[in-house]
Structure 1
Amino acid sequence: MSGWLIALRAIVGREFLRFIHQRERFLSALVRPLVWLLIFAAGFRAALGLSIIPPYQTYITYETYIVPGLCAMILLFNGMQSSLSLVYDREMGSMRLLLTSPLPRWWLLFCRLLGASAISVLQVYAFLAIAALFDITMPLWGYVAVLPGLFLGGLMLGALGLVLSSLVRQLENFAGVMNFVIFPMFFLSSALYPLWKMAESSELLYGICALNPFTHVVELIRFLLYLQFNLGALLWVVGSTVVFGLLAHWGYDPARGLMKRKV
Structure 2
Amino acid sequence: MNPYLIAFRAITTREALRFVHQRERFIAALVRPLVWLLVFAAGFRAALGLSITPPYQTYITYETYIVPGLCGMILLFNGMQSSLSLVYDREMGSMRLLLTSPLPRWFLLFSKLCGATFIGILQCYAFLAIAGLFGITAPLWGYLAVLPALVLSGLMLGALGLALSSFIKQLENFAGVMNFVIFPMFFLSSALYPLWKMAESSELLHDVCQANPFTHAVELIRFALYMELAPWALLWTLVASAVFMALALWGYDPARSLVRRKG
**TM-score bracket for the superposition, by shorter chain length:** over 0.9
Report what 2:214 is aligned to. Answer: 214
Determine the C-alpha separation between the residues in 1 that align with 2:119 and 2:261.
30
Determine the C-alpha separation between the residues in 2 that align with 1:261 and 1:28.
38
Q: Tell me how many residue pairs correspond in the alignment.
A: 263
SS, match of residue 257 in structure 1: helix
Give the structure-2-normalised TM-score: 0.98
Deviation at 1:255, TM superposition (A): 1.5
Tell me if structure 2 keeps the 8 A contact 1:166–1:251.
yes
Q: Deviations over 1:86-144 (max 9, x none)?
A: 00000000001100001000000000000000000000000000000000000000000
State, as a whole percentage, how many aligned pairs show the same letter: 78
Deviation at 1:254, TM superposition (A): 1.1
Q: Is 2:248 aligned against 1:251?
A: no
Deviation at 1:257, TM superposition (A): 3.2
Report what 2:157 is aligned to. Answer: 157
Q: Deviations over 1:173-195 (max 9, x none)?
A: 00100000000000000000000
Segments of 4+ moved more than 6 angstroms: none
Report what 2:90 is aligned to. Answer: 90
Structure 1 residues 238, 43: CA separation in 2 closer, same or farther (over 3 Å shift)? same
Q: Deviations over 1:69-90 (max 9, x none)?
A: 0000000000000000000000
Determine the C-alpha separation between the residues in 1 that align with 2:159 and 2:258.
17
Report what 2:54 is aligned to. Answer: 54
Report what 1:180 is aligned to. Answer: 180
Give the structure-1-normalised TM-score: 0.98
In structure 2, stretches of 5+ residues that fail to align are none
Determine the C-alpha separation between the residues in 2 that align with 1:262 and 1:236.
38
Report what 2:204 is aligned to. Answer: 204
Q: Deviations over 1:132-172 (max 9, x none)?
A: 00000000000000001001100000000011111111000
Determine the C-alpha separation between the residues in 2 that align with 1:205 and 1:32.
25
Tell me if structure 2 keeps the 8 A contact 1:252–1:258.
no
Code of the aligned partner of 1:19? F
Tell me if structure 2 keeps the 8 A contact 1:199–1:206.
yes
Report what 2:114 is aligned to. Answer: 114
In structure 1, stretches of 5+ residues that fail to align are none
Deviation at 1:35, TM superposition (A): 0.1
Determine the C-alpha separation between the residues in 2 that align with 1:154 and 1:262.
36
Code of the aligned partner of 2:171? L
SS, match of residue 255 in structure 2: coil
Determine the C-alpha separation between the residues in 1 that align with 2:47 and 2:103.
54
Tell me if structure 2 keeps the 8 A contact 1:254–1:260.
no
Structure 1 residues 53, 40: CA separation in 2 closer, same or farther (over 3 Å shift)? same
Code of the aligned partner of 1:65? Y
Q: Is 2:207 aligned against 1:235?
A: no
Determine the C-alpha separation between the residues in 2 that align with 1:68 and 1:12.
26
Code of the aligned partner of 2:182? I
